[in-house]
Amino acid sequence: MVEPVPVRTETDAPAKIPRADAFKPGGALYAFSFPNFRLFFFGQLVSVAGTWMQNVAQQWLVFELTHSAVWLGIVAGSTALPYVLFAFWGGSVADRFPRRSILLCTQSVAMVSALTLATLATNRV
């Protein structure tokens, strides 16, 4: 006796996974198919999260030490000052020097700044 072969309908077909299309050229996640981009992206993700934690800690520390909204505003406003002062100069530097060297230098300066804040806060200077 011959077993009947089940008939597949469109509803029985496996669902198309849209994620596969996202990794094709022009797809939303195409850049993540490159290992260097993934490394850069997740490194920057950690770095930016750390920068925001540092900003919150710095402003909290200023408020705890001074209990002044004015000083809190001055410190918060001064974090934007380097962006305003060095924007044009930074653009010309980015055009003339290797991007990797610039990233290493700026991230090192940010690290020293964070370590200085941590040292001053823990030693109550």
| Number of domains making up the chain | 1
75 belongs to a structural domain? yes
In a domain, 7, yes or no: no
Q: How do the residues of the chain divide into helix, strand and coil, expressed in percent and rounded to 5?
A: 75, 0, 25
pTM for this one?
A: 0.64
Q: What is the mean pLDDT of residues 62-82?
A: 91
Spatial contact of 20 and 26, defined as CB atoms under 8 Å apart: no
Neighbouring residues of 58: CB distance < 8 A, sequence distance ≥ 6: 75, 79, 117
pLDDT grade, residue 96 (50/70/90)? very high
Q: Which residue has the higher pLDDT, 5 or 80?
A: 80
Residue-number span of the structural domain to which 52 is assigned: 35-122
Q: How far is CA 82 from CA 15, 77, 101, 116, in A?
A: 51, 10, 19, 18
